[in-house]
Amino acid sequence: MGYVAGETILDDEFNAFVASSSDPFGFNHFAGTGATVYGLGQAAIPTVAGGTTSVAAAQWNSLLAGLDNIANHTNDTMTARTAVTAGDTIAIKSAVVADLATLAASVAGGSVNATAISAGSELQSSRSSTRYVGSHIVEHTVTFANANAMRFFFNAGGKIRVNLTRVGGGLANGSSTSAKDDSVDEMITAMGDFDIKSLTSSRSGTTETLTTDGFAIGFQDVTTSYQTVFLLTQANGTYTSMTLKGEIKGNATAGSTTNVTIKMSLTDADSGDILYTSGNLNSIDVNENFLGQTDFATKLMLPTTAQGLNPVYTLSGSAETSNTTA
């Protein structure tokens, strides 16, 4: 709806600014409870009573302050304005519709420009039970108190982050590195930070072959079955049969799910390992080349109250669902 300086905003028009649940969305829809890609869990702004001939300055200021708080978090630029006083005309409110649309779009996109995000402590760390020649497969589950809290977390720019590290070497009972350890290190670099976000996922690494690219999958796409977000195949090292895969699922579809389970698989499909059997001495490894122990760790990248949001939402718990070395 367009306005001209000096016009009067009617009660139902102000209420649309506050509470509309259809496009153009009101403040309470994208910043309050909302639904699907909207909602940050912030306190709702009251509407005005029907038949009101004027909107109080305090009611306007509540809306404008709310817009500024969300904009501070999403790093959007709002129309320049000052606080409203009794008797003001519509002139300084004429861009509210555009500001509402800007913020609704940012929230729907997962607040990707938010910088008030801090790294949480490590939630789960799953190390392979031993050096191995085969695979290390881990499942971590991150759970929220309810579906709304999980949606608010991701809409505010929250992420689930997974990292892979190697612990020790594959030779001499872990004291020396093998050629396969070099390959593992290259895969670690290739994945980097694996982040699950609201609408998409990403890796901070760029190397190796991206055999399966499902990075368009994010929290809003989860189902009860695993979806492959990425499959990396080694291209630069000696063991080009080594792969690293990331998958995600929920306990329901997005909007109802209260958790996300991440499945990580590092697989060494090399068939050239030599298995020593008869005459083996205690000081000789059973296999020609082991992988050193590997560790998958999960943490959250948490929205904070530093730039306007209050409250913010986080998990209620996490678990190592499985940890298999083969």
Please tell me the pTM assigned to this model: 0.90
Tokens of 63: 């809306």
Other residues' Cβ atoms within 10 Å of the Cβ of residue 190: 23
214-260 pLDDT per residue, tens: 999 999 999 999 999 999 999 977 677 899 999 999 999 999 999 99
Confidence at residue 198, expressed as pLDDT on a 0 to 100 scale: 98
**What radius of gyration do the chain's Cα atoms show?**
26
Other residues' Cβ atoms within 10 Å of the Cβ of residue 4: 9
Other residues' Cβ atoms within 10 Å of the Cβ of residue 29: 23
Confidence at residue 270, expressed as pLDDT on a 0 to 100 scale: 77
Inform me whether the pLDDT recorded for 167 exceeds 80: yes
Q: Are 245 and 123 in contact, with CB atoms under 8 Å apart? A: no
Torsional class of 173: left (φ above 0), alpha (ψ -120 to 50), beta (otherwise): left
Confidence at residue 63, expressed as pLDDT on a 0 to 100 scale: 93
Between helix 11-19 and helix 96-108 the angle, nearest 10°, is 20
278-316 pLDDT per residue, tens: 555 555 555 556 788 999 999 999 999 999 999 999 999
Ordered strands of the 227-233 beta sheet: 209-213, 227-233, 242-250, 259-268, 135-143, 317-325
Other residues' Cβ atoms within 10 Å of the Cβ of residue 168: 18
Q: What average pLDDT score do residues 51-59 get?
A: 78
d(CA 1, CA 69): 23
d(CA 227, CA 309): 32
Inform me whether the pLDDT recorded for 67 exceeds 90: yes
120-139 pLDDT per residue, tens: 999 999 999 988 888 999 99
Confidence at residue 3, expressed as pLDDT on a 0 to 100 scale: 47
Q: Residue 10: phi, psi to the nearest 5? A: -80, 165
Q: What average pLDDT score do residues 174-194 get?
A: 87
What do you get for the CA distance between the two ends of the chain, in Å? 63
Residue-range domain boundaries for the chain = 11-108, 117-325
